[in-house]
Structure 1
Amino acid sequence: MQLRDVPDWAYLLQEFDSLYRQSSSGGSKAIRSHRKRVREALSAVIDGNPELIDRQPQVKPVTAHLGRAFEIAARAGVSRLSRTLERVSHLLTWEYGYQSVPKALAQKYAYCEILGSIGPIRSERLILGFVLFAPNTVYPRHSHHEIEESYISVAGAWSENEMAVYAPGSMVLNMPGHEHRITTGEHDPCLLAYAWIGPDERLAQPGMKFSKVRKRLEQGI
């Protein structure tokens, strides 16, 4: 099958396109340029009507919080994206992306790719997906070599490098090599949409790993 054969997947890509077309750049030239690159890559994918890859749905412990995240998102400005994702939630493949994940984090984090080299919607130029965090989660410091990454808040409150609190509708841009750590609020899960832009070979093998930092730094001391 191809993208146009399964309207719910196509509608989900349309919602991503709307976010990166209509949301504010906040006056940032870097964010404005990033949004344009994502839109152009996404438009090429949609126009190409790509193959759909049959992936086995998979859950992780943190997906027990997904229903609550959808409830929170229904009251936010990105509720259309959330509702569209909910319609395909039974098809999502949740995973970790790291060869080694700390035991505590494995209970509180997972991501699902919806567009990329492994599918379910095939693309070599762009990766889109979602990451879900349980309440009171610390996602360790990491960076992405040659990959430009943006997050858009869908549900819940979170901070990056403890410098600000982001709410639904917020966008954060991490340039290649920028180290960042995510922490989430104490009471609700956090659902983020993300986009990755970079060289085809890097997107196919991103080599995800946590930064090597002192334990005291990871504890924010």
Structure 2
Amino acid sequence: MADISVPETPNADAVADMRLFDYPDWLYLLREFDSLYRHGSAGGSRLIRAHRKRVRDMLSKTIDANPQITCRAPEAKPVTAHLARALDLGERGAVGGMARALERVTASLTWEYGYARVPKPLAKKYAYCEILGPRGPVRSERLVLGFVLFAPRTTYPQHSHQEIEESYISVAGAWSENDVAVHAPGSLILNRPGEEHRITTADLDPCLLAYAWIGPETRLNAPEMKLSSNRKARMTQGI
């Protein structure tokens, strides 16, 4: 693992005016997101191609604006014990640049759940961190970028996001959405607003996904993440 460098803490007056270009590691991480959404394949899908363009256009505008940085207190969750392994796997895979860029800021990440109530088994096996967005260190009101980390043998229950268009790009580990296919590093999945989805991960290794959310400002500020009821999940899966 490479050494992790963290900028020295500036005084209070300086913090108020610290901007993206003052934190090269955050800037380089966002450029890795831009590269993923600019050069990755859409697989012939018009919807995915359009989504990729929306993400990179919003991201480019954000970077060009050199927004202020809001330093949040770093926070770990039980699943972050698997982060080092996920980054090791990611550096060997199709999106190694993203894994290396994320490694440079691991000491500054704020991992959270996003749900008012999290099932106890899931609390040990899942967390996410926002990089860019209303709650991220890099501020944006219409676009959210971040990472989701899963432990091995995790089932992330059925859920959906109202008014939010979501994509995942695999960084490390194998996973499946709605038991349809197995996705490897570099692959992208698009979930349209309101679409129910469920994630499962492989038996031996953790899974790290980069994600993007596009939606109205009010929704991204308060996404109201909720796990679907068992009855609704069974109906969606046709059980």
Same-fold status (TM-score > 0.5): yes
Query: Residue 125 of structure 2 corresponds to which residue in structure 1?
Result: 108
For 2:66 and 2:224, the matched residues in 1 are separated by 28
Query: Residue 81 of structure 2 corresponds to which residue in structure 1?
Result: 64
For 1:143 and 1:164, the matched residues in 2 are separated by 19
Instruction: Report 1:133-152 matches (<5 A).
Output: 133-152=150-169
Query: Residue 42 of structure 2 corresponds to which residue in structure 1?
Result: 25
1:177 to 194, 200, 210: 194
Query: Residue 31 of structure 2 corresponds to which residue in structure 1?
Result: 14
- Does 1:192 find its partner at 2:192? no
Query: Residue 153 of structure 1 corresponds to which residue in structure 2?
Result: 170
User: 1:127 aligns to what SS in structure 2?
Assistant: strand
- Does 1:131 find its partner at 2:148? yes
- Does 1:76 find its partner at 2:100? no
CA displacement at 1:209 relative to structure 2:
0.4
Amino acid at match of 1:88: V
Q: Deviations over 1:110-159 (max 9, x none)?
A: 00000001121011010000000000000000000000000000000000
Q: Deviations over 1:84-133 (max 9, x none)?
A: 00000000000000000000000000000000011210110100000000
For 1:39 and 1:74, the matched residues in 2 are separated by 23
Amino acid at match of 1:74: E
CA displacement at 1:12 relative to structure 2:
0.4
User: In the comparison of the two structures, how many residue pairs are matched?
Assistant: 220
For 1:208 and 1:91, the matched residues in 2 are separated by 24
Q: Could you tell me which runs of 5 or more consecutive residues in structure 2 were left unpaired when the two chains were aligned.
A: 1-17
1:99 to 105, 108, 116: 116
User: 1:74 aligns to what SS in structure 2?
Assistant: helix
CA displacement at 1:217 relative to structure 2:
3.4
Q: Deviations over 1:176-214 (max 9, x none)?
A: 000000000000000000000011111111110011123
Amino acid at match of 1:118: R
Query: Residue 5 of structure 2 corresponds to which residue in structure 1?
Result: none
Amino acid at match of 1:162: D
CA contact under 8 A between 2:158 and 2:233: conserved in structure 1? no
User: 1:214 aligns to what SS in structure 2?
Assistant: helix
CA displacement at 1:215 relative to structure 2:
9.3
CA RMSD of aligned residues (A): 1.3
User: 2:146 aligns to what SS in structure 1?
Assistant: strand
Aligned residues with identical type, % of pairs: 67
**TM-score, normalised via structure 1 length:** 0.97
- Does 1:166 find its partner at 2:183? yes
User: 2:182 aligns to what SS in structure 1?
Assistant: coil
Amino acid at match of 1:143: S
For 1:101 and 1:87, the matched residues in 2 are separated by 29
Q: Could you tell me which runs of 5 or more consecutive residues in structure 1 were left unpaired when the two chains were aligned.
A: none
CA displacement at 1:66 relative to structure 2:
0.3
